[in-house]
């Protein structure tokens, strides 16, 4: 049976790509770890490999939405290229 996970939004507001991650995000993830043993996945505003890597260092999962949709609207190859670059960022994280 699955236990689930906690989906933590990286910031309040509308979803979409952002230039940077909120500086308080690591502290938010740390507070969540104090109150749950469930895996923590963070999303909202993640669109670049460096952002994905930064989130991977503090969370169990990285959620990317708008950036993948934008790339898929360009082409399947663009979406696959973005996914591969995000994966590299996560692995380097």
Give per-residue pLDDT as tens, 37-81: 999 999 988 999 999 999 999 999 999 999 999 999 999 999 999
More confident residue, 46 or 21: 46
pLDDT of residue 15: 57
CA 89 from centre of chain: 11
pLDDT of residue 10: 85
DSSP H/E element including 42: strand 40-43
User: pTM score, two decimals?
Assistant: 0.85
pLDDT of residue 17: 53
**Under CATH, which architecture does the 6-92 domain have?**
Alpha-Beta Barrel (3.20)
pLDDT of residue 6: 96
Q: Tokens for 10?
A: 């990286």
Query: Pairing state of beta strands 40-43 and 6-9?
Result: parallel
Q: Is the pLDDT of residue 16 over 60?
A: no
More confident residue, 40 or 2: 40
Give the strands of the sheet with 61-63, arranged side by side.
6-9, 40-43, 61-63
65 Cβ contact list (under 8 Å, min separation 6): 15, 43
36 Cβ contact list (under 8 Å, min separation 6): 6
Residue 35 β-bridge partners: none
């Amino acid at each position: 049976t699955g236990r689930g996970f906690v989906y933590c939004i990286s910031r309040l507001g509308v979803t979409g790509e952002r230039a940077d991650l909120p500086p308080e995000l690591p502290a938010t993830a740390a507070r969540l770890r104090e109150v749950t043993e469930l895996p923590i996945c963070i999303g909202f505003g993640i669109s670049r490999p460096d952002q994905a890597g930064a989130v991977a260092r503090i969370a169990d999962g990285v959620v990317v939405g708008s950036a993948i949709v934008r790339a898929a609207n360009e082409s399947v190859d663009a979406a696959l290229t973005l996914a591969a670059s995000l994966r590299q960022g996560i692995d380097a994280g």
